[in-house]
């Protein structure tokens, strides 16, 4: 049997595919184009891509790395699905079995857990990159809707957080139980409807079987499904918007070098009307030096980013074990009880902000848990319509035109990071601040 080769040795008749696979080393532009359209995995790639948008130091490939991490969580989640039992009596023991009995169980669990945590970080970094390069702005192309892709992105970010949060509860140990207790209590602070929102979330008054099955179904079916659909649309939009905003920025910079209009064709219409056809200015992206073929250039870089991510996570998972504390116990409260790390900045604000104006008291949980995140998410969502800077500031790192908004954005990020650090490292028993080198006092019954 003849094995398919990666290269085509001799030219083929037009339209005939002699090999079942596509070429990764095309010999001509035509073959490169064929490689894209005839392959299911690559058909959503453009045939050509602007060189500048592929630069490692423009996007840092953070979107691709986010996608690779999402893929890894799904892949490593599948074997866990066969072994985990979503019942309060058996969940903890099933995780313990995965950890200590199943061959490679602890490694698979670590791959899943590390990818999930890193995904929160990398998606956040991708969001920051898009903001700082103003890549939610449209360029000069027709029908672009990058602001829609930004809004889809915000929803994807929130879905990623919720996906991670729902997974947090599943081991049903003390860490899981109390992190979710603290997290869902933040929702309870919404005036009037807070208690109902929490009840809806956890399926009752207390975190118990109804909560576990709710979080389980959200974690393994709804949220990954939603994220998958959003991801497909996200990528389709990138394609429809003419690629990354960087490509637009490049064409604006380069356009003075575009070919001058050539008064070319003359026409006649049934001999009645005669004239010269409208001339077409060659677009820079058509210029041979501005683009490369997606196969092999884009495919090679996407493969490096994806395989690199898989390799790094696989190695990290050998050395970093996943925690499993005592089984969940509603009667033993850890001191301090902390929310998952990505909600710690909110927990920090909740504890620090109780505003009193005369006899009126504004509950800190309401400020930190509702007003502030609501305001931030609202601002983030609608920022593309608030930002009035020129389209020339799109697809460019830290442009002068967007200096102030980028500065405010970076200060906000710095604030969130500082509060997360305080919550993670400096908070001790009774939520008192301790330096990392200070010992915590002995507290009777503390776990």
Task: Note the residues at the interface with ligand HEM (CB under 6 A).
Answer: 59, 61-64, 66-67, 70, 123, 126-127, 130, 135-136, 146, 149-150, 153-154, 156-157, 160, 231, 234, 238, 244-246, 395
Measured distance CA(291)–CA(149) in Å, rounded: 24
- CB closer to ligand HEM out of 64 and 211: 64
Neighbour-count burial of 45, counting CB atoms closer than 10 A to its CB (0-12 exposed, 13-18 middle, 19+ buried): buried
Angle, helix 174-187 to helix 146-169, in steps of 10 degrees = 130
The answer to whether the beta carbons of residues 215 and 166 sit under 8 Å apart is: yes
Give whichever of 308 and 429 is closer to ligand HEM, judged by the CB atom. 308
Shortest Cβ 22–ligand HEM spacing (Å): 21
User: What Rg, from alpha-carbon coordinates, does the chain have?
Assistant: 27
How far is the C-alpha of 248 from the C-alpha of 242, rounded, in Å?
8
Smallest gap from Cβ 402 to ligand HEM, in A, equals 14
CA atoms 139, 144, 148, 154: torsion sign: negative
Torsion of CA 385, 386, 390, 395, to 10 degrees: -70
Query: Residue 314 CB, nearest distance to ligand HEM (Å)?
Result: 20
CB of 154 to ligand HEM, least distance (A): 4
Kindly tell me the sign of the dihedral angle through the C-alpha atoms of 46, 50, 53, 55: positive
Residue 88 or 416: which CB sits closer to ligand HEM?
416
User: In the complex with ligand HEM, which residue's Cβ is closer, 69 or 182?
Assistant: 69
Nearer to ligand HEM, 62 or 218 (CB): 62
CA 119 vs. chain centroid, Å, equals 6
Nearest to 244 by CA among 366, 139, 101, 125: 139
Q: How many CB atoms lie within 10 A of CB 131?
A: 22
CB nearer to ligand HEM: give 123 or 328. Answer: 123
Residue 344 CB, nearest approach to ligand HEM (Å): 20
Nearest residue to the partner ligand HEM, using Cβ: 153
Report d(CA 170, CA 32) in Å as an integer. Answer: 46
CB of 230 to ligand HEM, least distance (A): 8
Q: What b/e string do you get for 53-63 counting C-beta neighbours within 10 Å, with b at 16 or more?
A: bbeeebbebbb
For residues 188 and 310, which CB has a smaller minimum distance to ligand HEM in the complex? 310
In the complex, what is the shortest distance from the CB of residue 150 to ligand HEM, in angstroms, rounded to a whole number? Answer: 5
Nearer to ligand HEM, 22 or 157 (CB): 157
Shortest CB 55 distance to ligand HEM, Å: 11
As a whole number of angstroms, the distance between CA 181 and CA 188 comes to 10
Smallest distance from ligand HEM to CB 211, Å: 25
Compute the least distance from the CB of residue 184 to ligand HEM, in Å. Answer: 23
Nearer to ligand HEM, 245 or 393 (CB): 245
Nearer to ligand HEM, 371 or 377 (CB): 377
């Amino acid at each position: 049997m003849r094995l398919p080769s990666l290269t085509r040795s001799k030219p083929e008749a037009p339209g005939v595919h002699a090999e079942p696979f596509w070429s990764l080393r095309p010999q001509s532009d035509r073959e490169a184009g064929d490689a894209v359209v005839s392959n299911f995995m690559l058909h959503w790639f453009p045939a050509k891509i602007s060189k500048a948008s592929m630069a490692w130091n423009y996007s840092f490939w953070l979107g691709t790395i986010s996608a690779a991490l999402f893929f890894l969580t799904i892949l490593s989640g599948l074997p866990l699905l066969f072994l985990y039992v979503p019942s309060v009596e058996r969940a903890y023991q099933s995780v313990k079995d995965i950890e200590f009995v199943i061959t490679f169980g602890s490694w698979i669990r670590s791959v899943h857990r590390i990818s999930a945590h890193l995904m929160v970080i990398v998606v956040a970094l991708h969001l920051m990159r898009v903001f700082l390069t103003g890549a939610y702005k449209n360029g000069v192309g027709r029908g672009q809707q990058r602001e829609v892709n930004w809004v889809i992105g915000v929803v994807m970010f929130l879905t990623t957080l919720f996906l991670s949060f729902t997974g947090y509860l599943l081991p049903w140990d003390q860490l899981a139980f109390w992190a979710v207790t603290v997290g869902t209590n933040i929702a309870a602070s919404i005036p009037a409807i807070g208690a109902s929102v929490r009840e809806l979330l956890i399926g009752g008054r207390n975190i118990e079987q109804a909560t576990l099955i709710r979080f389980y179904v959200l974690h393994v079916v709804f949220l990954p499904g939603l994220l998958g659909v959003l991801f497909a649309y996200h990528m389709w939009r990138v394609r429809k918007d003419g690629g990354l905003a960087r490509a637009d920025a490049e064409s604006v910079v380069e356009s003075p070098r575009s070919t001058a209009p050539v008064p070319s064709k003359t026409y006649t219409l049934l001999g009645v009307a005669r004239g010269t056809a409208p001339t077409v200015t060659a677009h820079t992206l058509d210029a041979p030096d501005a683009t490369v073929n997606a196969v092999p250039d884009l495919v090679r870089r996407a493969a490096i980013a994806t395989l690199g991510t898989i390799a790094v996570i696989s190695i990290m998972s050998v050395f970093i074990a996943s925690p499993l504390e005592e089984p969940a116990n509603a009667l033993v409260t850890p001191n301090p009880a902390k929310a998952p790390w990505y909600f710690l900045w909110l927990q920090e604000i909740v504890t620090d902000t109780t505003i009193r104006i005369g006899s009126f008291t504004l509950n800190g949980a309401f400020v930190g848990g509702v007003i502030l995140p609501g305001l931030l998410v609202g601002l983030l969502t609608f920022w593309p319509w608030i930002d009035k800077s020129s389209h020339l500031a799109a697809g460019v790192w830290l442009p002068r035109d967007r200096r102030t908004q980028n500065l405010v954005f970076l200060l906000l990020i710095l604030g969130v990071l500082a509060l997360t650090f305080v919550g993670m490292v400096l908070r001790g028993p009774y939520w008192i601040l301790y330096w990392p080198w200070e010992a915590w006092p002995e507290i009777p019954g503390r776990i």
